[in-house]
Amino acid sequence: MTDITLGQFIPGNSCIHRLDPRTKIVLMLVYIVMVFLVKSLILFSVPLAYVLLCLWLGQISFSYFGKAIKPIRFLLVFMFLLNLFITPGEKTLFSWRFIKITEEGLLQAVFISLRLILLVTGASIMTLTTSPIALTDGLERMLSPLKVFKFPAHELAMMMTIALRFIPTLMEEADKIRKAQMARGADFESGNIIARAKAMIPILIPLFVSAFRRADELAMAMESRCYHGGEGRTKLHQLKLGRGDLAAVLVTMAFLALILLVQGFFPGLI
C-alpha cells in the first residue's frame, strides 16, 4: 500500500511546497491543458521539462517519476495496445490476417501513453508537495464565490478533510479486524474470486459498523463544540498570494506560450 504515490504527501520546505495551494491547483489545470495541446512528438519535451523542473525545485527525488507510473502500468499497456490496433489509417506498417498496424495508429498509441504518463506524474507533483489540509483549504477558497448560488464550499472542504483524516484510521481498523478473523480461522488467501469476495464479508461488516459509529461520535463531538457550518468562521492560516506564486504563474505561462508559438507560427520546425 505504501507504493501508491498519487495522493501521497512528502513534507518539505521547498519553493514549490511554499506556493499557495490555489496557485498549485490552477497551474495543474493549466499543465493538463498544456499536455493536451501538444500535437507533436518533439514538443512533448516541453511538459516533460516542466515536470522535471518542478521535481527539482520541489526537492523530490526523480525516482518518484517511476513510482508514480507504477500503479498505472497495466492501464498504460492496455491503452497503448488498444490505440495501436484500432486506429484506422492510410499507411500500413504491418498486417497479418485481421491484425493491422498503421503509422497513424502507432503515433496515436505513443501520444496517448506519453500523455497518460505526463498527466499522472504532473498531478502527483501537486499532491506530493501540498498537504491534504492545504489542498482542501485552497479548494474551499476557490469555490467560495459559488456560495452565492448556495454551493456548500465549506461543507465540501470539511467533508474532504475528514475523509482524508480517517483513511489511516480505517486502514488500521481493517488490519485489526482482519487479524481477529484470521485468529478465528478465516482464510482470505485461497479459493476462487467468489470465495475470496465472500471471505471479505467478516471484515467489511465490522468495518462499516465502526465507520458509522466513528462518524456518529465525530458529529456529536463537533456539534457539542458548537460547529454549525462555515458561516462567519475565520481561519487560523490565511491564504496569501506572494511573489513566488507570481513567478510560478509566469514560468508556467512561458512554457504554455512556447508550445502555442511553435505550433501556431513555426509548424515547419516540428
Partner 1 sequence: MPIVIDHLCHTYFDGATSNPVLKDISLEIREGEFLSIIGHTGCGKTTLVQHLNGLLLPTSGKVLVDGLDTADKKLRPAIRTLVGMVFQYPEYQLFADTVREDVGFGPKNMKLSEEVIALRVSEAMAMVGLSMDKFGEKSPFELSGGEKRRAALAGILAMRPKYLVLDEPMAGLDPQGRQSILAMLEKLRQDTGCSIIMVSHSMEDVARHADRILVMDHGEVKYLDTPKSVFSHSEELAGMGLSLPAPCRVAALLRKQGVDAPGDICTRDDLEAYLLRRLKA
- What residue ranges bind partner 1 (CB under 8 A)? 2, 173, 176-177, 179-187, 201-203, 205-206, 209-210
Secondary structure letter of residue 58 according to DSSP: T
Query: At closest approach, how far in Å is the CB of 215 from partner 1?
Result: 15
Cβ atoms within 10 A of the Cβ of 72, count? 16
C-alpha cell read off for 161: 478533510
CA distance 209 to 142: 35
Between residues 75 and 167, which has the closer beta carbon with respect to partner 1?
A: 167
CA distance 5 to 127: 9
**CA-based nearest residue to 124, from 199, 33, 54:** 54
The residue written with cell numbers 467468489 in the block is 194
Between residues 30 and 174, which has the closer beta carbon with respect to partner 1?
A: 174
> Rounded to 5 degrees, what are φ and ψ at 93?
-95, -35
Query: At closest approach, how far in Å is the CB of 9 from partner 1?
Result: 14
- Single-letter code of the amino acid located at 37: L
Between residues 213 and 233, which has the closer beta carbon with respect to partner 1?
A: 213
Query: At closest approach, how far in Å is the CB of 1 from partner 1?
Result: 11
Between residues 152 and 202, which has the closer beta carbon with respect to partner 1?
A: 202
Between residues 3 and 231, which has the closer beta carbon with respect to partner 1?
A: 3
Instruction: Quote the longest CA-to-CA distance of the chain.
Output: 72
CA distance 61 to 7: 16
Query: At closest approach, how far in Å is the CB of 144 from partner 1?
Result: 37
